Amino acid sequence: MKKVLFIVCCLLAYSSNSQQMAQYSQYLRNQFMINPGAAGVYDFSDVTIGGRVQWAGFNNAPKTTYVSYSAPLAVGLARSKYNPGLLMSSGHAKNPEIKTGKFKHAIGSQMVADEYGAFRKIQFSGTYAIHIPINRNYNLSFGTKLGVTNHTFLKDRAIVANSETDNTYSNYTNSQTNVSTLDIGTGLYFYSKQLFFGIAADQLTGDKISFGTGSANFDPRVHLTVTGGYKIPVGNDFTITPAFLVKYMNPIVPTIETSVQFEYAEWFWVAASYRHKDALIGMIGLNISNRFKFGYSYDFSISKFSTYSSGGHEIILGIMLR
């Protein structure tokens, strides 16, 4: 019953223009995944590997796997010429410092595999960002992302209550659809050591440039994302960062998420978020060494799926090449 209910919900959600982009609970620790303008904010090469399962307990529940890389251009090129290896340090390490007041270029790339029920998206993209100093304390970055997204309908996973009368199911099943689309995104990111504010747009070209087989329309829509936050010092070792995330895709109601992060000595953090009418989220993470960082989050569902789902899990592992 769970499987039937879930696939029906996925088909209805897809056909009614729901959010089409992957969701990340730990957006505070990896802004680059939602805004290309955030590439290269830190002066080191950042490699992040992440995995997420949503609505655990359902068969074929939504899951996302991703790998991202970003770095200021000079740092990235230097690392490509010489890397002495991933040396481990003893004890914990502080976060790399955010440096402002200078002009710089940045590059990045992403691979995202997103599955939800009978649908799969695999995206490959590259990013370029330019950081312009406003003054010594503030920078404004503009980033653009260019990539290709493959959309696939997985017929063997599609189960509905009545396949003979479900037109959406019949459309995707009969067309054997596998389509790739050009994906262009852009973002502005304003930041300092304490403050960040970003606006990003994804899937700007929709399905205007596409290739593949099948006649079903995946109809990629423009997604807008707005984020912001401010780090508040509390004593010598603690900081509190209230933040927010707003996502919008026409014609649905915007999704709003509010968060607060508590950080100790710039190396260990815990956080909590509230995603409106969807989930309560708890997070924990730390810098394991000068090279590695780790984060975990749990989504406690408060939506209509809470009766059937045991929540969601997200794990990230970061490699910092300084």
Q: Mean pLDDT for each consecutive 10-residue tract of the chain (322 residues)?
A: 44 47 91 97 93 81 93 67 44 80 96 88 97 97 97 74 60 70 97 97 92 74 96 94 96 94 95 95 94 95 76 93 78
Residue found by looking up tokens 């010594």 in the block: 136
Q: What is the structure's pLDDT at 127?
A: 98
Query: Cα–Cα distance between 112 and 199 in angstroms, integer?
Result: 20
Q: What is the structure's pLDDT at 210?
A: 87
Q: What is the structure's pLDDT at 21?
A: 86
* HSE-CB of 17 using CA atoms within 13 angstroms: 12
Q: What is the pTM of this model?
A: 0.86
Judge contact between 176 and 151, C-beta under 8 A: no
Tokens representing residue 45 in the block: 């090469």
Buried (b) or exposed (e) across 122-158, using 16+ Cβ within 10 A? Answer: bbebebbbbbeeeeeeebbbebbbbbebebbbeeebb
User: Nearest 5°: CA angle at 167, between 162 and 171?
Assistant: 115
Structural domain span for residue 207: 2-321
Q: What is the 3-state secondary structure (H, E, C) of 24-81?
A: CCCHHHCHHHCCHHHCCCECCEEEEEEEEECCECECCCCEEEEEEEEEEHHHHHHHHH
Q: What is the structure's pLDDT at 10?
A: 46
Domain with residue 317: its CATH number is 2.40.160.40
Residue found by looking up tokens 């990235």 in the block: 76
Buried (b) or exposed (e) across 16-34, using 16+ Cβ within 10 A? Answer: eeeebbbbbbbbbbbbbbb
Query: Cα–Cα distance between 145 and 12 in angstroms, integer?
Result: 30
Q: What residues pair up with 56 in beta bridges, in sequence order?
A: 58
Q: What is the structure's pLDDT at 20?
A: 75
Q: What is the structure's pLDDT at 49?
A: 97
Query: Residue 311 contacts by C-beta under 8 Å, 6 or more apart in sequence?
Result: 56, 279, 298, 299, 300, 301
The domain total for the chain is 1
Q: What is the structure's pLDDT at 84?
A: 44
Tokens representing residue 268 in the block: 């260990």
Q: What residues pair up with 250 in beta bridges, in sequence order?
A: none
